Amino acid sequence: MYLIIVGAGNIGSPLIEIATRGGNEVVVVEKDEEKAEAAAADHDCLVLNDDATEKETLVEAGADRADALISTTDQDATNIMVCLLSKELEIPDVVSVVHNAEHMDIYRRIGVNTMENPQRLIAEYLYRAVMRPSIVDYMRIGEEAEVFEIEVGEDAPIAGKTLQDAASSGLLGGDMLVVAIERDGTGDPITPRGETVIEGGDLVTVYSASGATPEVTDVFGHFGDH
């Protein structure tokens, strides 16, 4: 892919590394001279030390060839302006970081894919690590629903039961679904079926409409996560 990345700061720098390592053709636009020089020295890509809120800059960056633009600056006003210009230049996919949730509606009206304030996401992740240490990883969907990974305890109520039995006995409610199972650390997921037996030590990926509440984690044997 041909990617234009705006900003080479705390978010942009690792993004540039990932994108270039993935074999993409990357052009970086960074207004700060020091950051631009660092990006050029550290990554195999074209770096423009210029202002991305100027239409000519995006044209120079190859907007007519770009498959996507990602704006990562720490200012919503800058990101919004960059996104507006990107839409005007008909870049197919435009993505931006959003720092202030109150601005989310503006991005939606522009038609931009967004990622909420990464600092808040990190803070929420750290809080979750303390409050729900049994959860390996998670992703929030909407206001309450979550998809999360959790290891099944040896003495968990669900251990030794088939998914069908767990559902019929009320352990798995109608708003819960086991979507993948990893066993013995092989990394090869098992596709869950009604007759699939959940074993202690399994790493299961679970969808829960109510989130990873204590009532949900109890099912998998983590009674201390309250």
- Confirm whether 226 is domain-assigned: no
* pLDDT, position 64: 97
- Confirm whether 182 is domain-assigned: yes
* pLDDT, position 168: 93
- Confirm whether 66 is domain-assigned: yes
* Strand order through the sheet with 135-141: 135-141, 145-151, 203-208, 176-182, 189-190
Q: Which helix (H) or strand (E) holds 67?
A: none
* 10 shares its domain with 101: yes
- Confirm whether 224 is domain-assigned: no
* 100 shares its domain with 145: no
CATH number of 170's domain: 3.30.70.1450
* 30 shares its domain with 83: yes
Number of alpha helices (DSSP H) and beta strands (DSSP E) in the chain: 8, 11
Of the three residues 95, 116, 137, the one that is the final residue of a domain is 116
Maximum alpha-carbon separation in the chain = 64
* 136 shares its domain with 83: no
* 50 shares its domain with 156: no
Of the three residues 92, 116, 140, the one that is the final residue of a domain is 116
Give the number of domains in the chain. Answer: 2
* pLDDT, position 116: 67
CATH number of 11's domain: 3.40.50.720
In tens digits, what is the pLDDT along the chain, a chain of 226 residues? 999 999 999 899 999 999 999 999 999 999 999 999 999 999 999 999 999 999 999 999 999 999 999 999 999 999 999 999 999 999 999 999 888 888 888 988 888 888 766 666 667 767 666 666 667 777 777 778 888 899 999 999 999 999 999 999 999 988 899 999 999 877 678 899 999 999 999 999 999 998 888 888 889 987 655 4
* 110 shares its domain with 150: no
* 105 shares its domain with 137: no
- Confirm whether 225 is domain-assigned: no
Structure-token pair, residue 221: 């044997």
How far does Cα 90 stand from its chain's mean position? 25
- Confirm whether 214 is domain-assigned: yes
- Confirm whether 192 is domain-assigned: yes
Global pTM?
0.65
- Confirm whether 94 is domain-assigned: yes
DSSP letter, residue 9? S
Determine the Cα–Cα distance for residues 190 and 222; give it in Å rounded to an integer: 22
Determine the Cα–Cα distance for residues 188 and 66; give it in Å rounded to an integer: 36
Structural domain harbouring 35: 2-116
* 94 shares its domain with 199: no
